[in-house]
Structure formats: structure tokens, C-alpha cells
Structure 1
Amino acid sequence: MKKIIFVGLMSLLVLSACATKEKPLTLEEAKVKAAEFINNNLVQPGTEVSIKEVTEEAGLYKVVVNLPNDQEIESFITKDGKKFFPQVMDIEEVESQTVDAGNSAQAQQQQQLTDIPKNTKPVVEAFVMSHCPYGTQIEKGLLPVVETLGDKIDFKIKFVDYAMHGEKELDEQLRQYCIQEEQNDKYLAYLECFLADEDSEGCLAETKVNTRTMDACVAKTDEEFKVKELFADQSTWSGGRYPQFNTSKDDNEKYGVGGSPTFVVNGTTISTGRDSASLLATICAGFETAPSECSTQLSSASPSPGFGFGTSGAASDASCN
């Protein structure tokens, strides 16, 4: 296969050599030049390489270098002996490998969807930390999906059993836990508002959450799961670094949750894109018979990590763990 050399400013180098009218090195001179340069500048003292052969290719000299470990590499040197390129990339080969990797990843993703257990009403659980930028990222992707599928799925936000973002995260997760448990009809509206700019107080007012009911639930939940008590006792923190938050501890252990986000459909932990289109496809793979809503065209743009409803230029599988 013909080698195509990917070298910056190659045309400039060729033009420069032509402009100076310098006499090119012979093949033997190039062989000596390459060996001296490599041994004097590119390898450890006491190490020596040899040049197996030098041939002309693509307007340069291709140098086959014998390494001490009996391996061979191909390098290139300009014909005037002034520029040395230690490594060559075969563009066709690299592009083919990229395509193969993409096809393999796509096949693995498809197999993963096929392996999701089926249910008449899929159970969808998203484990997050309220202030983890990657948890908020998947939540923003999920909102349009949950709105589209409505009561055809059993959807719930759950929390990782430790918090990485300080006491404010414990407070927010207690609020969200209680709103979802006792005022569920207001939870998604509250969550969407909160994800915009992290304004808990403003969002409680905007979505008309009954704060008296919520506060009573927060106190009860805090007492039941000892959230603030565990926060005050650093000896109980996960790994000595992060306070516990145990409202869904059993499920964290059941699914081996190790960070935010962790996404579960019908009891199976799934790796999925965080854009709405990918999440819809993933959830719909859990239906025994997919409803018409699964054909809805949702955005394939990945939400940006963190707060705010921007989009990210590339998909991300990063997490807080």
C-alpha cells in the first residue's frame, strides 16, 4: 500500500529545497546522515540503531531503522538532509482503523440495547448527584424523553449514596427526594428550573411547591437516613472524603453504582449517550412492544455538562466518581 505522509508544511519544505538548488544527498549519504542523527540525538547513550535501507518515496528518502529490540520503524528524511521525520502515518490505515472502531462501538451499543430485559412498562432509574455536571447533563437529556413517554414508563431520579459537592448537595438532594416522593406532579418542572441556573429558592416559588410539606418531609428524611448526622461525623464519610447520602443505598448496592450518572433500564445498567435521541432509543429498547412515541424525533445534540441548557460539541461519558 502506498504510504501517504502526513507532515505539516511539507509543501513548504519541498519548495524551500528547490529554491536553494542544493544538491540532494545520495542514498548512501542519507543512510549515514540518518544513523548519525538518530544515534547522537534520539536514543539513550549506549544505545545504537542501524539503518536497514534507504529508498526514495514521495519526494523524500524513506529510512528503515533497525532498533535494538529487533523491531523496525519507518522514518523519513528530506533529500537535503536537513529535516528528519521520525514517524509516518498511513492516512488510509488510520482512517480505516477509525471506521472499524466506530463500527465496533456501534455494534456493542446495539447489542447492549438488544440485551435489555423487556417490560410492558420499562422501569427507568437515573442515579445522579444533584451538582455533578455529568449528572445534570443526563438529566437535561432525559427531560424531553420523560415528557414524550409520560406514564408509559416508571421513571425515577435516584441519588448516588455519597455526595462530592459539599453540604449544598445534601440539602438539594433532600429537597428533590421529598418533592419527587410527595409532590411528584411538580418534580419535573422543578428539576427543569433548577437545571437552568441552580436557583432552588426561585424554582420552589416558580413551580409552586408546597414548602411546608417539603420541609416536613426533609426533616423526616434527614432523621431516617441520618444525612446531617453523617455529614457531621467525617469518620463515616465514603473513603474518608465524601459524606453519605443513603436514600437509595440498597439500589446503589444492587446495581453497583459507582458514580454520577449511572443509568438503569429494567434492572440493567446501561452505557448510553446523554442526548435525548439516544436516551429515547435506550429506554424504548426496554419495551415488550414499543409505543408510537418511540418514533418521536428528539434532539441528538448532547447537553452541556453543568447548569444551563446549552449543548456540547461532543458526546461525553465522563462521570463524578
Structure 2
Amino acid sequence: MPRKSRLKKKVSKKSTKKIVKKRRHVKKSISFAKNKNAFVGLIVLVAIVAWFLFIPNESNISKTSNSDADAVLDLYVMSQCPYGAQAESEAIKAVERLGEDVALNIYYIVNSQGVRFNSLHGQPEVDENIRQLCIKENQPELLYDYLLCFNENYGAGESQYNSCASQVGIDTSKVDSCINDEGTELLRASEAETNKVGASSSPTIYLNKQPYAGGRSEMDFAREICSKLNYEIEGCSDIPKPVSFELIVLTSDDCTSCDTTQILSVSKQLFPGVRFRTVQADSDEGQQLIAEHQLVYLPSYIFDSKVTETSTWNTNTQIVAAFKESGSGFRLRDETTGATWFISEEKRADSYAKIGVVKGDNKPQIDFFIMSYCPYGNQAEEAIEPAYQELKNKADFKPHYVIYSNYGSGYPEFCMDEENKICSMHGIQELNQDIREACTAKYYGMDEWFSFALAMNNQCSDQNADTCWVNVAESLDLDTEQISSCEKNEGYELMSADKELGDILGVRGSPSIFVDGDKYSGSRTANGYLGSLCVAFENAPIECEGKIQEPTRQAVPSGACG
């Protein structure tokens, strides 16, 4: 039988029905973890925003999904990605709930190089991808049971496979035979489907060939599918329609950092019935809202009280931590949205003065807050460096470090002082490296800072930085004795200054970037950073007339540490 026909057979109505029927016989024998859709405040918003940024163009979508089903859900995942595993389990529950009118396809995000595959979570993830494809190929009626079991402890890899295979009754000899005979080709075919949509973030989701922008709980999937089908199939009879309510977005045309796109996208995903209305801060209604809700920053997101009637609010209770009661409804906390633009002109001017920004001097300033071993911060450093090389002293480039108080287990594992005032997310060696880099900027300048920081990214880690840095510094002709002296005698003062500045700007994660005092929300690319600086010039230099080459680096999914 041709391969295409065989794959189609696995997602046909008959096959889907077999899977659902089999699930009813075996699900009582399996102990599944409780639903873990704990969307927690800022973590929820950052995670979903990061995913949303990777939604590809619908014009490249594969046309090979089952055409017999009324709705087809396509998931592109990494088998050991927490977000992918969670979405996969919830999608399976929704598809089973709705029955044979809905088909589910699962594809895997990998990169092939010759006969080998690379995956973000390493070879164990590649191996698990192949095992799952082999179960789908030869024992499809057990696939959903297996995935729901495996996803409870996806990080355990092969040991979890062995445990779940035993629980659900999988013939492992068939899986082994498939791995040896056709497993590689199955994964290669899956990769081809993934490449057609350009999926690089797990999960990437499509519903009926359209990018899916809904929530990821069982009910979210079910509601979105039923909405697509106008609630006309039998399985939708007990699916409630989304609660309709208004969200007021208070913003200002003068606020260059007030990009509301991502928060509104997340809100629509979490609350499908939401209606948006934008109000300008300088309007009569805007002034009334500012007074009523005692607002300090823009943008602000004010929710009608009916938000409390939604499924998300009541089934993901920890989402409430992202909100505060305000007026007759609720609004998202500023620390959740990252709002930092002062409504008051006086406070805004005072903020600019504290961070050293001088408006109108034709010398824009970029302040970038990082952690020396946050992969997202490292990516930002590597993208800002070409912009620095292009502009040099025509703009001010100022690196800073993200400092917390009372983090983790405190001193001495995460903090440099017994009072736990100066701490770093990835431990004391990261904090020490932050200090050494700050010392390099102070005593040498930005040329040497970029050379040292980027070399440390490539050659050392948060596990060995305290010893590894010496050879790196010496290779760059930096005075290790001077840096060590600065680290010992000035480190606390340098990091305290960064924490104070970060607190003024509302910094909570790495990277956090500000151009002329306004939060940067553009693309994390060399040309994105250069373009933002060039816009901030009163009279842009000739270097702003073209594009620069992007750095070559291993891709890191969009996100933040913190």
C-alpha cells in the first residue's frame, strides 16, 4: 500500500472510532495525572505569547490531512516539550470527547542532517518521536492511551515508554521492528509535514488548515472545534458557548512602547468571547478611567466583571493572580503586562533622568538587561552586537544585569550576600559572571564587553564560569587581576545599581530592552534593534540607510528568563 494511503488510514473516521472505543475499555486501568493547565500570571502570558509569535503562514499548510472528518486538528510538537505534551494531552481528550467527526494529526519538530536527526531536547526526544510514530503506524488503537500516559512524565523518556507500553498493552516487539525497519522514514515524512508549515515552536497548532489561536485546555479545544462546526455535531451538545464580555484597552498614540498586539492575542486565546474596545488616555473617557482605576502606566487592560463567569477563570484558578480587582471589574497587573510608560509627563521625565536618557540630543540610548547565562539574553546580546558595530559611539549601548532579591535558596547558592538582596536566577556563578562583565564594561568599554560576553556565551557555562573565564579573558588580552579586584571590591555596588535601575524600569526578566527609556517590543534581530535606534535619532546617520547581516547562531525559541 502506498505510504500516503497508509497514513491517511490512521486518521480516518473508522480508525478514529477504533481509538475512541479502545480508550473506553482501557482508560480505567490507567492512572492519569490531574489536569495541569496551571496558567500562572506572567508565565501564562509569556509562554503563550512566545508560541503565538511562531504561527506560520497558512499558505504553506499541508493538504494531506484526512478529508473525511468534519474538523481536523494538526499538532506540530516536540515529544519532550512540556508545552507540547500538555497541548497534546488536552487535544486528545477533546477529540475523544467530540468523537469520530474530528481527526487529530501529530507531527514532530526535528531537523535532519543526513541520516541523523537533531531535536531541541536531544537524542532521547528523537528516539521517542520514532517510538510514537511506530505505535501510530502499527497499533493506532493504543496511541491515545499511550500518549496520555507518556505525557504524565515525558522527561523520563525511554523508562516512561517502557512503563506506559506495559500499562496500555503495547506489543514492544512490533515497535522495535518498526524502529529498525521504517522508523527513520516515518520521522523523515513527519519532518516534511512540519517543514511545510514552518513549525519551529512546540506546539504549533492548526484547525482546518488555519492557524489555531485558542486556549489549550480540553474545553478550549472542544469549544473552538465546535465553533468551527457551528455546534452542529452530536459531541458539541454539552460544550458551553464562550461568555461574551468587554475588555477596554487604554493606551496613547504618544506611547511608542505600547504594543498591545500580544496581550490582546493572549486574551483572545484565554477568553474566546472577549470583545475589545480601545480608548485613548487623553480622551474624556480615558481620563475618567485613569482616575477610577488609579492608573500609573500604559497600556492598561480593563476587564468587565463577567470575566469571572468564563471557563478559563473557573477552571484555571491561578490565572486570577494576573489580575487585580479594579472599579467594577478587573484589570491585568502592570507587572504581568510589562507596562512601563508613565501616564504622567512629570513622572516620565523623572524616569528618563534617572536612567540617563536625554531627549533631543541626537544620541539614542539602548539599555539592555540580561542574565549572563539566560539563553534568551545571550541571543539578544548576539543580535545587539552587529547594531553596535554599525553605530559605535553614535548611540549609547548600556548593558545591565537582572538582579532579584530573596531568590531560590538564597545565599550562597543564588545570592552574594547573607541578606539575600543581590541574587541571580541561574545561581552564584552566573551572578559572578554578571559582575565580571560589568567590570569589563566599566574599565575597558563596549568593544571589549561584547568580545568578552559573547566569548563567555560560547566557551563557558553557569556551571564552570568561575574558573573558565580566566582563559577567555586572557585570550582577549584583558587584565584578569583588575577584573578580579573589581569583582571583589565593586561587585555589590555595581549589581545594586543595576537592580535599582531595573526596579525603576519594571524589569522582571531577561532580556528586557529599552530604547531612549521606552520599552522595546520589536523583533529580537540585529536589524530590529538597529531600526529602533535609528528611529530615535533626530537626524539619523548614514549607517541607518541600509540593513546589516544577522548573526549566525543556534535558534532559541522566543521567550524570557524570569
TM bucket by the smaller chain?
0.5 to 0.7
Counterpart residue number, 1:320: 561
Aligned pair partner of 1:84 in 100, 113, 129: 100
Secondary structure of residue in 2 paired with 1:158: strand
1:293 aligns with 2:543: yes
Matched, 1:169 2:430: yes
Match of 1:84, SS state, is: helix
Structure 1: distance between partners of 2:521 and 2:493: 32
State whether residues 128 and 157 of structure 1, in contact with CA within 8 Å, keep that contact through their aligned partners in structure 2: yes
- Given the alignment of the two structures, is residue 251 of structure 1 paired with residue 512 of structure 2, yes or no? no
**Deviation (angstroms), 1:202:** 2.0
1:265 to 487, 505, 515: 515
Map 1:98-113 onto structure 2 (within 5 A). 112=256
Which residue number in structure 2 is paired with residue 222 of structure 1? Answer: 491
Going from structure 1 to structure 2, the CA distance change for 1:129 and 1:59 (only over 3 Å counts) comes to closer
Q: How many residues align?
A: 217
Letter in 2 for 1:191: A
Flag the 1:176–1:11 CA change in 2: closer, same or farther, 3 A. closer
SS in 1 for 2:497: coil
If asked which structure has higher relative contact order (CA below 8 Å, sep 6+), I would say 1
Deviation at 1:265, TM superposition (A): 0.5
Contact conserved, 2:372 with 2:457, CA < 8 A, in 1? no
User: Using a 3 Å threshold, how does the CA distance of structure 1 residues 274 and 118 change in structure 2: closer, same or farther?
Assistant: farther
1:156-198 deviations in Å (ceiling 9; x for gaps): 1101123111111121111111110111152222223222222
1:49-90, CA deviations, whole angstroms, 9 ceiling, x for partnerless residues? xxxxxxxxx996979xxxxxxxxxxx9xxxxxxx92237955
CA distance in 2, matches of 1:11, 1:222: 61
Instruction: State how far apart, in whole Å, the 1-side matches of 2:69 and 2:557 are.
Output: 42
Paired residues for 1:75-224 under 5 Å: 84-86=100-102, 89-91=207-209, 94=210, 112=256, 120-162=362-404, 163-184=424-445, 185-198=447-460, 199-222=468-491, 224=493
Q: CA deviation at 1:121?
A: 0.5
CA distance in 2, matches of 1:149, 1:61: 56
Deviations 1:235-277 (A, max 9, x none): xxxxxxxxxx423122111110001110011011112322212
Change in CA separation of 1:211 and 1:269 when aligned onto 2, cut-off 3 Å: same
Cα deviation 1:122-164 (Å, max 9, x = unaligned): 1101000111111111001111111111111100110112311
2:8 alignment partner in structure 1? 9
1:145 & 1:167 partners in 2: Cα distance? Answer: 30
**Conserved in 2, the CA contact under 8 Å of 1:113 and 1:282?**
no
Instruction: Provide the residue aligned with 1:80 in structure 2.
Output: none
Instruction: Classify the secondary structure of the residue corresponding to 2:559.
Output: coil
Separation in 2, partners of 1:186, 1:13: 61
> Larger deviation: 288-297 or 127-136?
288-297
13 and 277 in structure 1: CA distance in 2 versus 1, 3 angstrom threshold = same
* Aligned equivalents of 1:318, 1:220: Cα separation in 2: 34
State the SS of the aligned residue for 2:536.
coil
Deviations 1:275-301 (A, max 9, x none): 21222122222212222212332245x
How far apart in 2 are the matches of 1:59 and 1:220?
69
Q: Percent identity?
A: 24
**1:128–1:159 contact (8 Å) kept in structure 2:** yes
- Letter in structure 2 aligned against 1:180: A
TM-score w.r.t. the length of structure 1 is 0.57
TM-score if structure 2 supplies the norm length? 0.34
Shift in CA distance, 290/167, structure 1 to aligned 2, threshold 3 Å = same
Supply the AA of the counterpart residue of 1:310: R
Q: Distance in 1 between matches of 2:459 and 2:367?
A: 24
Listed as ranges, the matches of 1:18-33 within 5 Å are: none
Letter in 2 for 1:124: I
- For 1:209, give the aligned amino acid: L
Change (3 A) 1:147 1:114: farther
Change (3 A) 1:9 1:311: same
Check conservation: 1:123, 1:266, Cα contact below 8 A.
yes
Question: Which amino acid in 2 is paired with 1:172?
Answer: Q
* Residue 216 of structure 1: how far off its partner (Å): 2.2
- Could you say if the C-alpha distance between residues 169 and 247 of structure 1 is closer, same or farther in structure 2, counting changes exceeding 3 Å? farther
- Give distance in 2, aligned partners of 1:211 and 1:248: 23
TM-aligned CA distance change 1:251 to 1:60, over 3 Å: closer
Q: Which amino acid aligns with 1:177?
A: A
CA distances 1:74-131 after superposition (whole Å, capped 9, x unpaired): x9xxxxxxx922379554xx36989xxxxxxxxxxxx847999765101101000111
- What letter matches 1:139 in structure 2? E
For 1:168 and 1:211, how far apart are their aligned partners in 2? Answer: 16
Distance 1:10-1:173 versus aligned 2 partners, 3 A rule: same
**Structure 1 residues without counterparts, runs of 5 or longer:** 1-7, 17-33, 42-57, 64-74, 76-82, 99-110, 226-244, 304-308
How many angstroms apart in 1 are the aligned matches of 2:361 and 2:557? 28
- Residues 13/320 of structure 1: CA separation in 2 closer, same or farther (3 Å cut): closer
Partner Cα separation in structure 2 for residue 90 and residue 147 of structure 1: 46
Say if 1:160 and 1:259, in contact at 8 Å, map to a contact too.
Answer: yes
Distance 1:170 1:61 in 2: 54
How many Å apart are 1:10 and its aligned residue? 7.2
Q: Secondary structure at the match of 2:376?
A: helix
- Secondary structure of the 2:513 match is strand
